[in-house]
Amino acid sequence: MALSKAEEREHAEFSNKPLPISGKRGATIIGPTNPSREAENPDTLAPPRGDHGTMANMRWSFADSHMHLEEGGWGRQTTARELPSATEVAGVNMRLTPGGVRELHWHSAAEWAYMLKGRARITAIDQDGQAFQDDVGEGDLWYFPAGIPHSIQGLEPDGCEFLLIFDDGNFSEEATFLLSDWLAHTPKEVLAKNFGVPESAFDRIPEKDLWIFQAPVPGPLAADRVVGAGPAPNTFSHRMLAQEPIRMKGGTVRITDSSLFKASKTIAAALVEIEPGGMRELHWHPNADEWQYYISGQARMTVFAAENNARTFNFQAGDVGSVPFAMGHYIENIGTTILRFLEVFRSDHYADVSLAQWLAFTPYELVRAHLHIDQSVLSKVSTRKTPVVAG
């Protein structure tokens, strides 16, 4: 039957939009809509049939985070205030221009970082005065324990952008202990007495905190080497991309925890790459909440929370996901390019439990009686962990 003109207009208007319709369930939206936001989350607008109940939000985008701008760069954060389901870990996305400095500082939480783009020089000393300097590039990590003073400076040709992880979901980057802030609140006569110099030496110190500031681009690393009381016993940096990945038919995984990166005592992570159509298998983590950062591609994740509760979320580059402790989930590549993301945990080691491996190592008759699955199906389930599976 031919559509009326009004029906044709309605069909044209909605044909390219996600709709809250699944089979015979749902209807079009005839009130106000936010098409761009709905297009980012089609599985929230029209949930899969398995979704049920009321679950906390487990998705946030850095695009919705407040941007702190300074001469020399910017920063924005995702904490438990923005994503209440992520209580164990907070994240900061930061950019430094060539020469831009995240000023000398320290934190009440440990800092773990992944370099997204560009290059930076990092410096630190430990409690014994042992010094550390290194130049880090894309795919490199660093880790500074709580209370360890350090700095970050962008290098040529285009500075850098990185992800910072703190082992406290309520931590705020604004609560950082900044050198300029401390000195601005210390009497100059006290500074003079401390350093054994005239008060006039501090006439030009900043009157307030700098946070990020612009400085000249540093020269070669060798010229910046400071011996201090000796080298730090455990290097504060690690080349994650230099690790040989675990290769599977559907993608790769690189796991970095304290077994490889000795300094990283409170953060473990995995860099996951999934081919189009592939997925991070059904699994859960028995040791910590999971915090995710999506670097590229498009993903779908369904989280099972027990008590007849499950919810599906969609992700793209710049998004953050969270999975509370022990909740079952998968992550599927629903795009046409490689899906790349970080799994981050407040732990010294990485651990997961594979649903497929669990079933493979459980007596067949028990599984068949439980799930009514034929032996021919179960025989295809690998007894090996396959964190990424092909589509």
Mind listing the pLDDT tens digit for each residue in 356-368?
Answer: 999 989 998 898 8
Q: How many domains, in total, are found in the chain?
A: 2
At 5, the pLDDT band (50, 70, 90 cuts) reads low
Residue 94 lies in a domain: yes
Q: Is residue 298 domain-shared with residue 363, that is, in the same domain?
A: yes
Asked if residue 81 is part of any domain, the answer here is: yes
Co-location of 215 and 356 in the same domain: no
Q: Residue 83 pLDDT > 70, yes or no?
A: yes
Q: Where are the alpha helices (DSSP H) in 188-315?
A: 188-195
Percent of the chain exceeding pLDDT 70 equals 95
| Residue 28 within a domain | no
Q: How confident is the model at residue 230 (pLDDT cuts 50, 70, 90)?
A: confident
> Please, are residues 280 and 330 in contact by the beta-carbon 8 Å criterion?
yes
Residue 65's nearest CA partner among 54, 74, 53, 56 is 74
- Specify whether the CB–CB gap between 342 and 293 falls below 8 A: yes
> With contact defined as beta carbons under 8 Å apart, do 78 and 90 qualify?
yes
Asked whether residue 281 carries a pLDDT value surpassing 50, the answer given is: yes
| Mean pLDDT of the 157-163 span | 98
Q: How far apart are CA 112 and CA 142, in angstroms?
A: 6
- Same domain membership, residue 247 and residue 199: no
Task: Please say if the pLDDT value at position 205 is more than 60.
Answer: yes
Bond from prior residue into 157 cis (ω within 30 degrees of 0): yes
CATH number of 261's domain: 2.60.120.10
Average pLDDT, stretch 198-210? 96
How far from each other are the two terminal CA atoms of the chain, in whole angstroms?
39
CA gap 136, 120 in Å, rounded: 5
Res. 227: pLDDT tops 90? no
238, 260, 291: which is the final residue of a domain? Answer: 238
**In-domain check, residue 82:** yes
Query: Are residues 248 and 220 part of one domain?
Result: no
Please report whether residue 100 resides in a domain: yes
Within this chain, do residues 195 and 254 fall inside the same structural domain, yes or no? no
- Of the residues 221, 238, 255, which one is the last residue of a structural domain? 238
User: Does the annotation mark 38 as catalytic?
Assistant: no
1 assigned to some structural domain: no
Per-residue pLDDT tens digits for 231-267: 888 899 999 999 999 999 999 999 999 999 999 999 9
**Closest of 287, 293, 280, 322 to residue 305, by C-alpha:** 322
- Residue 1: predicted pLDDT: 47
201 and 172 belong to one structural domain:
yes
In this predicted structure, the answer to whether residue 12 has a pLDDT above a threshold of 70 is no
Give the rounded percent of residues in the chain with a pLDDT score beyond 90: 83
Question: By C-alpha distance, which of 113, 108, 46 is closest to 312?
Answer: 46
Q: What is the mean pLDDT of the chain?
A: 93
pLDDT, mean of residues 273-291: 97
Q: Is the pLDDT of residue 152 over 50?
A: yes
DSSP state of 63: G
Look up the domain containing 305 and give its range. 243-389
Task: State both tokens at 278.
Answer: 């592939």
pLDDT at 384 over 80: no
Boundary (domain end) residue, out of 238, 265, 284: 238
pLDDT at 7 over 70: no
pLDDT band at 6 (very low <50, low <70, confident <90, very high): low
Mean pLDDT of 193-217: 97
Nearest to 72 by CA among 92, 101, 93, 105: 101
The tokens describing 79, both together, are 């904490």
- Joined tokens for residue 154: 């962008």
3-state secondary structure 124-158: EECCCCEEEEEEECCCEEEEECCCCCEEEEECCCC
d(CA 220, CA 237): 18
Same domain, 266 and 331: yes
Q: Is 230 inside any structural domain?
A: yes
Average pLDDT score over residue span 194-216: 97
What are the tens digits of pLDDT across the range 114-123?
A: 999 999 999 9
Burial classification of residue 208, based on how many CB atoms lie within 10 Å of its CB (0-12 exposed, 13-18 middle, 19 or more buried)? exposed
Q: What is the pLDDT of residue 9?
A: 53
| Residue 197 pLDDT class (50, 70, 90 cuts) | very high
149 and 120 inside one domain = yes
Is residue 208 domain-shared with residue 253, that is, in the same domain?
A: no
Q: Is the pLDDT of residue 14 over 70?
A: no
Residues 290 and 345 both lie in one domain: yes
User: If 0-12 CB within 10 Å is exposed, 13-18 middle and 19+ buried, where does residue 53 land?
Assistant: exposed
Question: The tokens 């809509």 sit on which residue?
Answer: 33
pLDDT at 386: 84
Check residue 11 and give its pLDDT.
47
In a domain, 13, yes or no: no
For residues 218 and 229, give the distance between their C-alpha atoms in angstroms, rounded to a whole number: 23
pLDDT at 4: 55
Q: What's the confidence (pLDDT) of residue 15?
A: 53
Instruction: Name the CA dihedral angle for 219, 220, 221, 225, rounded to a multiple of 10 degrees.
Output: -70
Identify each DSSP E strand in 222-376 by its residue range: 237-239, 246-248, 251-256, 268-274, 279-284, 290-296, 298-304, 310-316, 319-323, 328-333, 339-345, 353-354
| Catalytic residue (choose from 38, 82, 343, 365) | 343
Residues 209 and 82 in one domain: yes
Quote the pTM value.
0.93
- Do both 150 and 289 map to the same domain? no
